[in-house]
Structure 1
Amino acid sequence: MVEEAEAVRMVDRANFAQKEVKNKPGKRYAFYGEEIRRKLIAEMSVKDRMQEGLDNEEFVVYMQPKIGVKDGTVKAAEALVRWEVPGKGLLSPGFFIPVLEKNHFIGKVDRYVFEKVCIWFRERMEKGETVVPVSVNVSKIQFYSPDFIPVYAGIKKKYEIPDKMLEIELTESVAFEHEEYLLQIVRELHENGFLCSLDDFGTGYSSLGLLKYLPIDVLKLDGVFFRVSVDVKREQTILKYIINMVKQLHISTVAEGVEREEQVEFLKSVDCDLIQGFVFYRPMPIREFEKVLAANRKEKRQI
C-alpha cells in the first residue's frame, strides 16, 4: 500500500510538471520542484475557498475609468474583480482568475460582479448622482451558458438600469469558435438594452472580417498596440486605418493599456474615442471612482 501511494504521488507530480509546459512554445520539459509545489498549494487554497469567498463577499469590484480623448473627462468605466482575502490582502487577478476558470467557477463570479455593478447604478441614480456607462467582462464559460442572457437581462430589469448603460465585453476568440452563435448573442443583448464590445482586438485572433458581420458598438484595441515597438511608425499606421475604418462603421474605439503621453497625443490625432490605461488611472475601488466622478463633474481634465 505504501509503494502504491508513493506511485500515485509521483504520477500526480509528473502531471503538475507537465502542466507547466503545456501550451508554452519552446518549453518541452519541466521538473517537479519547490516552485511548482508552492504554486500547487496556492492553487489548491484558492480552489478550496472559492465558494466561501463568494459567500463572504470577499470579491470586490474595482473600476478603471475610460477617458474621452477630446475633452479629457471620464466618459465610462470597466468593472474589474479583485479578491480581498482576510489576513492576506488582495490576490492578483492574474493568479486567481485562471484557477476560477479551470474549476468552472468564473461564471458565478461574473454574475456576482455584474449584480454589484447594477446595485451601484441603482444607488447612484436614487441619490441623483452622476453615472457613466460601465462595461463588464463575460468569461467564455458564462458566454456559452444557456441562461446567460435571461439571467443578465433579469438582473438589469430588477434594478431598473437604463438601456445602453451596461456594456458586455466579448472576447474575439469566441467569434472564431462559433460565429453564428456570437451573432445571435449580440442581437439578443441589443434587444435587451445592452451595448456590446469586442475585447482584446489585436492579441492574435484579430480579423477585420469579424467587423463585416458583427454589429458591435465598441472595439477595444488591446495594449499590445501600445507596448514598445521596433517600428512605431508602422504600428501607428495600422492603428490609424483601423480606427478610421471602424468609425465609418459607427463603432466606437477604446485604446487599452496606454501608459505614455506620446501615445495619448497620437490617439488624439487619429480621433480615437476613449483611452483606458495607467497614463490616467489605474483600477480603483468603487468609492475612489466615485470621487473621480465628482471631481470630473467640476472640472475637465486637459490632455
Structure 2
Amino acid sequence: RIDTLLTDDGKNRTNENIQQIILELVPNITKTSLKKLIMHARSIQKRIPTWFKQQLKQKREWKPNEIVRFHDDTNEIQYGIYHPDSLHQLRLTASGHGIPIGTPWSTNEWELDAEFTKVATWGTKAPQHHTAAIRGAQYETFPPNEGWITSRGDPIKLTDLTIRRMTLLFTNKTGPPSCQKKWDHILRSQIEWKKVWRTLQNAFANPYDTKTWFRLIHRGLRLNSNDKSVADKTCRLCQTTRESHAHLLTCSRLNELRRLVLKLLKDHLLRRRRPPEALRGQDLPRGELLANLQLAGSGVRSAPHAARRR
C-alpha cells in the first residue's frame, strides 16, 4: 500500500515508520526479513515520481452525487451517495451496481476526510435507479478507470476504449501504405487513393470477396516474379512478358475479361463512355484502366443510387 511508503502529505516515511507499520501487519516477522522489506521499501520510495507525491498534497473535494465508501457503527464497509449535508446509503447488487435504500443520513457533524474514502467505478451504463458498477476504494483498485491520456494528450477512460476507438488511436500513427507511391510511379499518374480505398468498403462484397483486389492494390499477389521457388519469371498467361503486378493491368490475355467488366460498368453502374477497343492479342496502354477511366472507387458506391434513378 502507498501509505506504507508515503505520509498523507506525500513525504517519504522514515525507516522507523516503515518498521512500525510492517510489525503491525506481520508481528512474527524475522529481523532478517524485516530488514530486507525496509530496504525494498526505501528503493521503491526513490522511484515514486514527484507528480504522484504532489497529488497527495491536494485537498480532496467531495462533489454532490459522488459515490463514497465509509464504515458504519459496526465497522462494516458501506457505500453511499454523498449530497451536501447528507448521505444516502447504497445496497450493492451481485453485479456491483448500487441501489439507494432507506432515508438519507445527516453529515453536518461528520469530518468528511476522515469518514469518506474515494471510490472507483467502472463504466457509465447501469440499470434504472442504479449507480455505475462499484469496484471498491480507489487506493485498492487497479487499473484505475480515470486518469489516462492518449498519445495526443487527450484524457480518456478505460471504459471508453472500444475496439473502434483503439483501432483509430493506433492507425492514426501510421502513414499511407508504400504501395501508393509505387503505383503512382508505375502508372505515372496521380491516383485518387481515397476512391481506391473506398472500393474495399462497399455493400456488395465482404473482405473475402475483395481479397484479390486488396492484394493487388498492396502488391501482395503471389506472382512468378516474387516467388523464389519458381525459376521461370514470365507471365503464366501470355508467356511473353515478366509476370508482375503492373503487367496484370495490361496483359493481352485479359483483354476479353476487361471488355466484359467495362461493359458491365458502363451499362449498369458508371454510364461512362466505353474505352478505346483493344485488339485481340494486343496489350492495353499501361495505366489506361485505372488512370483514364478512373474506375477505382467510382462504381461500387454509386450503384444503389444509379439503380434507384432508373
TM range (shorter): under 0.3
Question: What TM-score do you get using the length of structure 2 for normalisation?
Answer: 0.22
Look at both structures and tell me which one has the larger radius of gyration over its CA atoms: 2
Whose strand proportion is higher, 1 or 2?
Answer: 1
Higher relative contact order (CA 8 A, sep 6+): 1
